[in-house]
A and B are shown apart, each in its own frame.
Chain A
Amino acid sequence: MAKQEELALGTGGVATPDVDPGQGPRKPVSVFAEAGWDVSLRVGSIVALIVAWWAMGLFFPPALVPRPWETFAEVGVIIKTGEFYHHMGNTLWRVFVGFGLAMVVSTPLGIIMGSFRNQESFFEPPVILGLTMPGLIWALLMLMVFGIKEISAYLAVAVTISPMLTISIWQGTKSIDKDLIDMSTAFHASVYSKLVDVILPQLVSHILAAIRYGLGLAWKVIVLVEGFGFSNGVGYQVMHQFDLFSVKGVLAWAITFLIVMIFLEFGVVGVLERSVTRWRPRVEAWRR
């Protein structure tokens, strides 16, 4: 105790933020400057990737490693002709529906597994097995069982990503602060209020992380389903370009994909994340 006091006085009365005895709220440190630097780092990394691609092209014929600018020109053509909207629209819709199905199953399942020991033991094996099953196999199975129908695409996406979503929400539920549950019991909170005010807010960051990973997985499997069986969608187009042995075409379609990905990741999920985590100050000092 005496030592603590000494410490606080030893700094000449200037308290560090963590032991702030004063009454002022903490000020965020020039958020905008930091964000600007952050963005330039990200842009720089993409530029570096393109340069590496270009450099590789010096050692291979253009048919094998097409020049970056030619490929980007091809992307422009794909977008301009409207093919992009048609195929990407189909693909996005399939991912969206599959994702929705998976969330509807995984969220309650994950919360149940995180809350009850018996249910945890019972559901753990299928979830872990599901996690190790390659998306390719789900894609083939669904096409064989349901045929070349939309339902195959929805289910392939849902089944591939739901183990990962479940695990994330399950682990999130286990890490919930029990003291807060006790607190809410002490203040007689209803079951509904406990769920909405206390439990779900603690799961939000886990659910968002799961959505990020889930999107990545969903793309991988939807391309397979579409490539094998469908006559539209980005996967179909990639397969078509493969049949033509057009590396440029495969890459161009892949790039349209990446653009949409980046938009979803930083635009949609990022905005969502910022709006639901406004209460959390950005503390990144420990990373430097």
Chain B
Amino acid sequence: MAYVHIDRAVKYFSREDGSPLKVLDDISFDTKEYGITALLGPSGCGKSTLLNIITGLEGLDHGRVEIISDTEDGERAHPQLGYVFQDPRLLNWKRVEDNLKFALKGMEVPADEWDERLDKYLSLVGLTDFRKQFPLYLSGGMRQRVGLARGLVIEPQVLLMDEPYSKLDQLTARQLREDTLQICSRLKQTALLVTHDVEESAYMGDRIVIFSARPARIAAVYENPLRSSERDTDDMRFIEFKKEVLETILNLVKEGA
């Protein structure tokens, strides 16, 4: 399958007065293949900037970002990237299934595959019964599920998720994290999740990359000791791991202050 390879990435922004502001400082890491990599860091540290660089919305000043995949010649290339945004960003005037079709159409997926894909991904996110519904008649959590299905339906090599649970209430977010984790491990989906929530990163991430405050350096990389099926927020082993990640972050914040 595929993963994102980031090699000594450096990025500057220019300040109001024109002087350069370093945002990313020598960032190197690979995302996990067949799994979720959580990118954890304080707000404003440059996580979203890195995401924009991966998607090509912004360029790099030094270094390289590439998506390594083993798609063979002759095989129809899968689109490289799928997206799940912070707000679901649905077309509210289109039914759930038409929102997914919008992505399929954009990615030029042959129309004869659409039905099969809609069935598959809507049932994965648990929205089979709502495919003819308009988004504004759904709850916030369900809308975010539509967003997830839209990101997956194009069968991307890498799924990028930008704080997709941060605007949901606690209970809905918890349920959705659980479901997303299950879906991704079932699909063996390579995914990069940007988050500022420690528990979320420990729960979702097979690998956790911690950014320092600006300019972002890599402060630590953790491999999750628990397999996705073993993660339980009440389990002692999970709580231990979460604590470890939390302490790393707290030390960073102290140093920064």
Contact = CB atoms under 8 A, between A and B. Distances in A.
Interface of A: 1, 4-5, 8, 17-26, 179-180, 182-184, 186-190, 193, 197-198, 201, 278-281
B133 A193 contact: no
Given A186-B55, A279-B92, A279-B136, A197 B175 contact: no
A204 to B, nearest CB: 8
A236 to B, nearest CB: 43
B74 to A, nearest CB: 22
Contacts of B103: 187
Given A187-B102, A189-B106, A190-B106, A279 B170 contact: no
A22 B106 contact: no
User: Could you say which interface size class chain B belongs to?
Assistant: 35 or more
Nearest to B88: A183
Given A4-B170, A179-B85, A193 B105 contact: yes
A25 B133 contact: yes
B89 A22 contact: no
Contact of A22 (B81, B92, B139): B139
Given A4-B169, A198-B91, A21 B102 contact: no
Contacts of B139: 17, 20-26
A182 B135 CA distance: 19
A278 B106 contact: no
Interface string B78-102: 0101010101010111110000001
Contacts of A8: 169-171
A184 B169 contact: no
Contacts of A201: 91, 93
A96 B102 CA distance: 35
Nearest to B136: A281
27 contacts: A1-B170, A4-B170, A8-B171, A18-B140, A20-B141, A21-B139, A21-B169, A21-B175, A23-B126, A23-B142, A25-B133, A184-B102, A186-B81, A187-B154, A188-B107, A188-B108, A189-B102, A189-B105, A190-B106, A197-B94, A197-B102, A278-B134, A279-B92, A279-B136, A280-B134, A280-B136, A281-B136
A23 B145 CA distance: 11
Interface in B98-146: 102-103, 105-108, 126, 130, 133-142
A1 B150 CA distance: 28
Given A187-B102, A279-B92, A279-B134, 19 more contacts: A4-B169, A8-B170, A19-B169, A21-B169, A21-B171, A21-B172, A23-B142, A25-B137, A26-B139, A179-B87, A182-B89, A184-B102, A186-B55, A187-B103, A187-B150, A187-B154, A193-B106, A280-B136, A281-B136
Contacts of B134: 278-280
Contacts of A184: 102, 106
Contact of A183 (B79, B83, B95, B137): B83
A180 B91 contact: yes
Nearest to A6: B170
A187 B170 contact: no
A19 B133 CA distance: 19
